[in-house]
Amino acid sequence: NPMECFETSFSILAFGEVVSTADLTTGVKMGVVCWLFGGAVVNLGSPEHIEKWVQPIKDLKFTGMFAMTECGHGSNVKGIQTQATYDPATKEFVIHTPCEDAKKMYIGNAMQGNYAAVFAQLYVNGEWQGPHCFIVPIRDQAGKVYPGVTAVDMRHKEGLNGVDNGILFFDSVRIPKENLLNKFGSVSQHGVYESPIKDKTARFNAMLAALTPTRIALVFQAVAAMKLGLTIAIRYSYSRRQFGPKNKEEVKIIEHQTQYLRLMPHLATSLALTFTSRYAGEILDEDVCQGKDLVNNRPLQALVAGLKAYSTWENVGCLQDCRECTGGMGYMMENRIPDLKCDSDVFVTFEGDNVVMLQVVARDLLAQYARQYEERPVLELLKHWTASTADSLRTSFLAFNTEVVGCLSFLLKALNFRERVLQRSLSARLYDKVKKKKEEFFSAWNSCLHHVVALALAHVHRVTLEQFWKAVKECPEPKDQALLKKVRNQALSRLFAFALQFLELCKSAKEDALTVVSAFNIPASSVQAPIAGNPSPTATWTFYPHPPDSPGAKANFQAKL
Amino acid sequence: NPMECFETSFSILAFGEVVSTADLTTGVKMGVVCWLFGGAVVNLGSPEHIEKWVQPIKDLKFTGMFAMTECGHGSNVKGIQTQATYDPATKEFVIHTPCEDAKKMYIGNAMQGNYAAVFAQLYVNGEWQGPHCFIVPIRDQAGKVYPGVTAVDMRHKEGLNGVDNGILFFDSVRIPKENLLNKFGSVSQHGVYESPIKDKTARFNAMLAALTPTRIALVFQAVAAMKLGLTIAIRYSYSRRQFGPKNKEEVKIIEHQTQYLRLMPHLATSLALTFTSRYAGEILDEDVCQGKDLVNNRPLQALVAGLKAYSTWENVGCLQDCRECTGGMGYMMENRIPDLKCDSDVFVTFEGDNVVMLQVVARDLLAQYARQYEERPVLELLKHWTASTADSLRTSFLAFNTEVVGCLSFLLKALNFRERVLQRSLSARLYDKVKKKKEEFFSAWNSCLHHVVALALAHVHRVTLEQFWKAVKECPEPKDQALLKKVRNQALSRLFAFALQFLELCKSAKEDALTVVSAFNIPASSVQAPIAGNPSPTATWTFYPHPPDSPGAKANFQAKL
């Protein structure tokens, strides 16, 4: 039972990765019940709430769902329209869907779950208090839907068809006062609204912080999908032969330059993301398990939002290349890649659209920047822009050559420099538009959105590379360290567009590709793909035997990953 | 009946585009029967063959299939292992599958078709004559499979599940001598092999030229999928609102900078590809309908191979962005985008893997280059490399600024220059490796594959831009011409990475996006997506009314597209 280890986020994250390689639908459904419903209760509720709604999930007594998104408001969650009106006479909340746009949509487990964590605008004594989260009973243990609740199946999607996404709406459903998850806002015995956070926006942001663990879980799932796709594509590339020198045996398709140029960068990224998602998981572990409120760790929220966007986009690109690099075989269902693609395609959208996630990152980076110069006059800020200490790097760029790529500390500085430049210039542009030209903030921000996205990605790239660097540095086995270094340098050379070195490094990384995918240690029962060496009785023709690994390297490397 | 218009390729290409917007599976199955089977008979057979096997298809009396790809040989068709041995005693060919690898795979219509155009290595009097194409009866009108033939269903794929792809293999199946499609090779009355082309490779290449029309048809289908995806995504972007200025109505999502930056370039590409695929279709029309052999039009073969790769990759990228830009709605089956994605994903693989297609382009460009200098000594070639007249453009680059983008003739020259540089440098590299360093050709070519792909894409980009340019120039309506020019300039500015101008041009192109998609003129019954204004009784919640077009512009523009 996954909930058993809820106390240590890290083990459940790893568990989620393992489950997802076996079946993404199961991974996502587990995410809905444990991370979204369970996480809402844990992060927004009281110890009594946890006792009442998390313990039974651990005991598999019932399942939950998470009802935030509405028909009219997905990304802009603040605008949701479901109402929760406090009735002082009965000490109940009345949960109500006032219009079509307020219907809860895409709700996972909607056709089977017993309880929903429903986000609704709270009204107490006629006063609006912003969105809050309520536990609403949806159906009894026998599966009978409660009066006033309607659940509609949304049926077929591109993938994840094992998840029952549905529409939920409420016709004045009454729930007891205790069903409000009350960490950031509650109604007193005397019917008065109370909250430790006065500002409505800040209060809602605190609640949204509850989504952070779910987003890390999603990063682990995206990485799982990448690793599985790469395992299948790389093993097949080492089995399948096509074309070759005149009058000689055809070569393995991994030998075609275009093949390794397409697959090796994804392999490097999957390693970098493995290390970085663990890093985020460890911070989460420290925070959550030491009882800290997630809301206070803004950099973690920003990192996770950025990682969510970066990893899910990388996953889409990776699986597309895996599909194309395995040709017709990769189009056949029995080889897993189509399902992986279709199931994980929505990762870029759910748990926060990627473009919105990157704006979360940029907003935090700008806030950090502003804090840095809070006490200085505005002119200082602009002066700094033209004469930062970091700018001294600029001159070094002139002497930049390909050999320097090996010098990692220089490159990390360069990535850091890029991030700072984007941060300062975005800050200056927004300052100019909003403060000087009095432009409306939304339109000023929107006209810089391209810049915002670039800054956020630069940040995630920098952190990801740092974690890759750290993993290489701390690797205890010299042999494994050398291998990791090679893959990392290849990732780097792409980042800096050194075409020639990139070609050479990809070619060299290819030699270790089987060792790396073996070290992912995905059990054959999860790999399942006939083209990767797992026979299928219903598609015997797609079987290609498992290409031989170099066993020594494997055993060692496995320990690290 | 699509075969009715086989005489004018252009109308059947347009028909294929229309059918594909309604249902890609139907489009692909039509492609198998008409273009692949029908095309093989028309291009490789005699008038008697056409009478016998094309006329009945026109009359819907039976259907055909195209059996080229084998388990062991897909891209490397020359290596197929199915055997066709001539038996002089009975004047028959014996079609035989000697091993697992020789089984015909992914054959469309395999579970229903009556005849197959089977490629097999021909042996006459014990002598091997290379691959030839034979008509093999597979099952009778009642659907009963003939003795010696086995057809196995390959079942589930990522998409196109309406197409029955299967495995075909033959246990010494005897077919009459007349069933050899004999344009490029035949067996005489006296049992002697005869061919107008002596070299086996040249002969096989002539046969492969028969695939050219099918590939153009596929380009039309890819463009159809792009246009439909864009129609749905752009209309939704003009209906759906999310986020906005404080205390004001939320804005249409098309107003978000990232949204139009993602969609507008695809819209420009879909227009450019519309014009270019028509151009290729017109050349084909002239060639085929005037009885010319396709084999002699190498530039057309190369153009079509390149367009196949370029358009199908653009389609994959376009539909992915359409999916992401429509959020959760774009993940729902009823909104068509998931199906379009999954059905067309294999376009990059079938009819020739894209990476292989680009090598066809590069090979032709190198051959052209070699012919150009055939009579000059080799040193001339290298001299030319350093002092070409085209190189005079280099100095102009120094004075290159963003305003120049408007000056199209200069830009076309620049694209042409890029192509020539890549052509000459690839030629020089290969010359150095093969002639000077005596490297094996396969390995030399493989070590330049990245360069090969870059050259091929540069070629396709140049031709595509020329056709866009021509379409703008010849547009009779000044208003439409202005619109086309705007979209074209946006495409250009991306090509040249003028970030700022690109942002502005995308923003401006967005204003006309609804007009352009209306001009695609896809009937509502083909669009079908509720988010694009076509209600669905089974998913009422995804309905967004059709955003209003500007009718004047539409009516005009429609005429052109």
The pLDDT tens digits of the residues spanning B243-262 come to 999 999 999 999 999 999 99
H helical segments located in B404-561: 408-430, 441-447, 449-474, 478-495, 499-510, 513-519, 524-527, 551-560
pLDDT at A391 over 70: no
pLDDT at A528 over 80: yes
Where do we find the tokens 């864009």?
Answer: B230
CA B89 to chain centre: 44
Residue B167: strand, helix, or coil = strand
pLDDT at A318 over 80: yes
* pLDDT, greater one: B232 or B523: B232
- Write down the pLDDT at residue B402: 46
- Write down the pLDDT at residue A406: 55
Question: What confidence tier does A84 reach under pLDDT thresholds 50, 70, 90?
Answer: very high
Across the interface, do A328 and B349 touch by the CB < 8 Å criterion?
A: yes
Domain ranges across chain B? 9-196, 209-353, 357-380+400-497
The pLDDT tens digits of the residues spanning A96-127 come to 999 999 999 999 999 999 999 999 999 999 99
- Write down the pLDDT at residue A492: 74
DSSP type of residue A86: E
Rounded mean pLDDT, B384-409: 47
CATH superfamily of A9-196: Butyryl-CoA Dehydrogenase, subunit A, domain 2 (2.40.110.10)
Query: What are the residues facing B119 on neighbouring strands?
Result: B133
Using an 8 Å CB-CB cutoff, list chain A residues near B245.
440-443
Rounded mean pLDDT, A45-65: 94
Question: What confidence tier does A510 reach under pLDDT thresholds 50, 70, 90?
Answer: confident
How far apart CA A549 and CA A514 sit, in angstroms, is 6
Question: What confidence tier does B194 reach under pLDDT thresholds 50, 70, 90?
Answer: very high
- pTM (2 d.p.): 0.93
Across the interface, do A350 and B342 touch by the CB < 8 Å criterion?
A: no
B125 touching A, CB under 8 A? no
What kind of fold does domain A209-353 have according to CATH?
Butyryl-CoA Dehydrogenase, subunit A; domain 3 (1.20.140)
- Write down the pLDDT at residue A390: 42
The dihedral formed by the CA atoms of B141, B145, B149 and B152, expressed in degrees to the nearest 10: 110
B-contacting residues of A 227-246, CB under 8 Å? 242-246
Helical (H) or strand (E) element with B176: strand B173-176
Q: What are phi and psi of A3, to 5 degrees?
A: -70, -20
Rounded mean pLDDT, A366-387: 62
Nearest Cα of chain B lies from the Cα of A98 at a distance, in angstroms, of: 15
The pLDDT tens digits of the residues spanning B276-316 come to 999 999 998 887 766 677 777 888 999 999 999 999 999 99
Token output for A236? 């097949």
Helical (H) or strand (E) element with B153: strand B149-153
Using an 8 Å CB-CB cutoff, list chain A residues near B346.
328, 331
pLDDT at B151 over 70: yes
The pLDDT tens digits of the residues spanning B77-117 come to 999 999 999 999 999 999 999 999 999 999 999 999 999 99
Rounded mean pLDDT, B180-194: 96
Residue B94: strand, helix, or coil = strand
- Write down the pLDDT at residue B5: 41
How far apart CA B41 and CA B133 sit, in angstroms, is 9
Question: What confidence tier does B219 reach under pLDDT thresholds 50, 70, 90?
Answer: very high
Looking at chain A, which residue has its C-alpha nearest residue B352? A327
The pLDDT tens digits of the residues spanning A60-70 come to 999 999 999 99
Where do we find the tokens 């995804």?
Answer: B542
Rounded mean pLDDT, B216-221: 96
Query: What are the residues facing B332 on neighbouring strands?
Result: A157
Rounded mean pLDDT, A19-45: 93
Rounded mean pLDDT, A515-531: 89
Using an 8 Å CB-CB cutoff, list chain B residues near A346.
328, 331
B250, B338, B341: residue with CB nearest A157: B338
A108 marked as binding residue: yes
How far apart CA B546 and CA A102 sit, in angstroms, is 21
B255 touching A, CB under 8 A? yes
Question: What confidence tier does B393 reach under pLDDT thresholds 50, 70, 90?
Answer: very low
B14 touching A, CB under 8 A? no
- Write down the pLDDT at residue A559: 45
Amino acid type, A276: T
B257, B353, B450: residue with CB nearest A449: B257
How far apart CA A121 and CA B173 sit, in angstroms, is 74
Q: What percent of chain A has pLDDT over 90?
A: 67
CB atoms within 10 A of CB B11: 15
- Write down the pLDDT at residue A167: 98
- Write down the pLDDT at residue B398: 40
Question: What confidence tier does B561 reach under pLDDT thresholds 50, 70, 90?
Answer: low
Least Cα distance to A361 among A494, A212, A222 occurs for A212
Q: What radius of gyration, in Å, describes the C-alpha atoms of chain B? A: 25
Rounded mean pLDDT, A290-318: 89
A250 touching B, CB under 8 A? yes
Question: What confidence tier does A396 reach under pLDDT thresholds 50, 70, 90?
Answer: very low
Q: Is A351 considered catalytic here?
A: yes
Question: What confidence tier does A407 reach under pLDDT thresholds 50, 70, 90?
Answer: low
A324, A328, A338: residue with CB nearest B106: A328
What CA–CA distances, in Å, run from A447 to A434, A440, A452, B167, B191?
A: 12, 11, 10, 55, 76
Strands of A158-268, DSSP E: 166-170, 173-176, 186-187, 193-194
pLDDT at A367 over 60: yes
Q: What is the separation, in whole angstroms, between the first and last Cα of chain A?
A: 24
Query: What are the residues facing B188 on neighbouring strands?
Result: none
Using an 8 Å CB-CB cutoff, list chain A residues near B353.
327
Rounded mean pLDDT, B43-58: 94
DSSP type of residue B334: G
* pLDDT, greater one: A300 or B556: A300
Binding residues of B for FAD: 69, 108
- Write down the pLDDT at residue A394: 42
pLDDT at B523 over 50: yes
DSSP-derived pairing of the beta strands B115-124 and B64-67: parallel
B440 touching A, CB under 8 A? yes
Amino acid type, B438: K
pLDDT at B394 over 70: no
Question: What confidence tier does B7 reach under pLDDT thresholds 50, 70, 90?
Answer: low
Using an 8 Å CB-CB cutoff, list chain A residues near B440.
245-246
Annotated catalytic residue within B351, B375, B466, B474: B351
A537 touching B, CB under 8 A? no
Using an 8 Å CB-CB cutoff, list chain A residues near B362.
none
On whether the CB atoms of residues B217 and B493 are closer than 8 A, the answer is no
The dihedral formed by the CA atoms of A418, A421, A422 and A426, expressed in degrees to the nearest 10: 180
Residue B388 CB partners (closer than 8 Å, separation 6+): B420, B424
Annotated catalytic residue within A70, A334, A351, A466: A351
CA A344 to chain centre: 11
Looking at chain B, which residue has its C-alpha nearest residue A539? B154
How far apart CA A185 and CA A203 sit, in angstroms, is 8
Q: Is the ipTM of this complex over 0.95?
A: no
Question: What confidence tier does B20 reach under pLDDT thresholds 50, 70, 90?
Answer: very high
Arithmetic mean of pLDDT over chain B = 88
Strands of A191-277, DSSP E: 193-194
| Overall residue count recorded for chain B in this entry | 561
A320 touching B, CB under 8 A? yes
- Write down the pLDDT at residue B376: 56
Binding residues of B: 69, 108
Nearest Cα of chain A lies from the Cα of B89 at a distance, in angstroms, of: 33
- Write down the pLDDT at residue A380: 52
Query: What are the residues facing B176 on neighbouring strands?
Result: B92
On whether the CB atoms of residues A136 and A170 are closer than 8 A, the answer is yes
Across the interface, do B154 and A258 touch by the CB < 8 Å criterion?
A: no
Across the interface, do B79 and A103 touch by the CB < 8 Å criterion?
A: no
- Write down the pLDDT at residue B407: 66
DSSP type of residue B542: G
Arithmetic mean of pLDDT over chain A = 88
B-contacting residues of A 337-366, CB under 8 Å? 337-338, 341-342, 345-346, 348-350, 353-355
pLDDT at B411 over 90: no
Least Cα distance to A17 among A26, A7, A6 occurs for A26
Looking at chain B, which residue has its C-alpha nearest residue A504? B447
User: Is B290 buried (19+), middle (13-18) or exposed (0-12) by CB count in 10 A?
Assistant: exposed
Residue of B104, B345, B359, B361 to mutate, interface with A, max A Cβ within 10 Å: B345
User: Is B296 buried (19+), middle (13-18) or exposed (0-12) by CB count in 10 A?
Assistant: exposed
How far apart CA B136 and CA B68 sit, in angstroms, is 12
Residue B198 CB partners (closer than 8 Å, separation 6+): none
